Amino acid sequence: MPHVKGNKFKPKLPEPSPTESQPEPATAAQPGEQPAGGKKKKNKNKFKQQQDGPAGASDVAVEPAVPAAAAAPADGTAAAAAAAAGAAAEDGGQWLSKKQRKQQRQQQQQQVLPAVPTVVVAAPKPGAAPSAAAAAATSNWAALKAAMDAAKQQQQAARPHWHKKRKAEASAGDVQPAVPVNRPTSTGSDTGPTKVLAIDCEMVGVGPNGDRSVLARVCIVNSAGNVLLDRYVRPKEKVTDFRTRVSGIRPSNLRDAAPFDEVQRQVADLLKGRIVVGHAIVNDLEALLLSHKRKDVRDTARYPPLMKEQARTGRLKPRALRHLAAEQLGLTIQEGEHSPVDDARAALLLYMRHRKEWERWVAAGGRQDQHPAVKGKKAVMSLEELAQHGAHLADL
C-alpha cells in the first residue's frame, strides 16, 4: 500500500542480512559542504552522533558490512548479537543507524540475566572442623553483636540520672540480706524428737490496719538444734500486712501454705509431754491456739537472770532475744528479716547455758521473787530506799 500522509500503516522494508554484501559507503561530506543532491539534509541525530562518534565524522552514516569475526554466534542469543554489533561498530569505526541502535537497545532490555545458583552448605559432622563459610558467618555475628552491645551501652549512658537511680533501687530490693557468719547452728546429729524442744513462730497482720497478729510460720527444733518442723501456715483471714521486713513472709510463701488446723494438730502432737523452750513463748502458743503445762515451759523472756531491771520501779523487764544472743552467746540473729530457725536455736542455747540453775528454780516453785538473783537485788534495794528515806527525814 503506498504511503499516505497520516496513514499509520506504514510499509516495513525488509532488513538486510548481515552476510549480504553492503554497498560501499558514500564519501563523507566535509563540514559545511552540501551533499551531492544540492539540498542540505537535516541530520536529526547530530547531537547523538557527536557524542558517540569521533570528531570530523560524517553526518550521514551508512550501515557497514559486519565482519565475519564479529558475526553473531550460532546460538543466536540476543546478548551475543548485541555484543557482535557493538564490536563491529568499534572495529569499523562506523556509526549505527537510528534503527539499528533502537534494535540494539531492545535486545539489551530483553537480555535475561543468568540465574544465580543456590549453594546449600551441608551440616558439618560432629567433631569436624568448621568450614570457611561457617567461620565467616560466626565472625560476622560476633562483630554485629559487639556493635549492638556498644549501642546499648551508649543508650544506657544517655539515660537521665533519676532513671539509673530507680533501676539501682529496684535491683537492690530483690537482693536478699546477707546471712550473718556467726549465726546459730545445730550442735548434734540427733534428728528425732527429744525431751526438750524449742519453738518460734512468725506472725502477719490482719484486720483493717494489720494490727492483729495471726500465725504464718512455725518452726520446732530438738535439743541438738536440728529442725523437726518448719511450715508456712495459711491464715483464715485476709492478710493486710505481711510485715516482710521483720517476719520475712511474702505473698508467695502463703499461696500454697498448709491449712491452720493441719499445722496446729501436728504441733500439738510434737509438744505433748515435753519441755518447750522459747522467747515470749506465750505469744507463740496463743497464735497456735494451744496451751501447755506451766511446769514444762521455759521462757527465756521470763527467766530472771535474763531480764533487765527497771531503774525507777526496780521491776524486771524482758530483754530482746538478739541482745541476749549477742551478749551471752556471741551470736548474731534478727539482722533484717527474722528466721524462726535461728530464733529457736538461740533460745535453746540460752536454756542450755542456764539449765542446771533453771531447773532447780523451777523445782522450788518457779516464782520470780524467789529466785536467788532477785532476792539479793531486793535486799540491796531495800537498804538504798532506807538510806534515801533517812536523808529525807534529816532534811526535814
pLDDT single digits (tens) 34-69: 444 445 555 555 444 444 444 444 444 444 444 444
Q: What is the mean pLDDT of the chain?
A: 74
> Cell 497478729, residue?
213
**Residue 287 pLDDT > 90:** yes
The torsion angles phi and psi of 227, rounded to 5 degrees, stand at: -75, 125
List every span in the chain annotated with CATH 3.30.420.10: 196-385
For residues 395 and 288, the model is more confident at: 288
Average pLDDT, integer, range 294-301:
95
**Residue 200 pLDDT > 70:** yes
pLDDT value, residue 219: 97
Contact 309, 315 (CB under 8 A): yes
Handedness of CA 379, 384, 385, 387 (dihedral sign): positive
Contact 216, 337 (CB under 8 A): no
pLDDT value, residue 332: 92
**CA atoms of 142 and 152, how far apart (whole Å):** 15
pLDDT single digits (tens) 74-89: 444 444 555 555 555 5
pLDDT single digits (tens) 223-278: 999 999 999 999 999 999 999 999 999 999 999 999 999 999 999 999 999 999 99
CATH architecture of 196-385: 2-Layer Sandwich (3.30)
Across the strands, what pairs with 62? none
**Lowest-pLDDT choice from 19-33, 142-156, 175-189:** 19-33
Query: Over pLDDT 70: what percentage of the chain?
Result: 57
**Residue 209 pLDDT > 60:** yes
> Cell 502432737, residue?
269
Quote the DSSP letter at residue 327.
I
**Residue 129 pLDDT > 60:** no
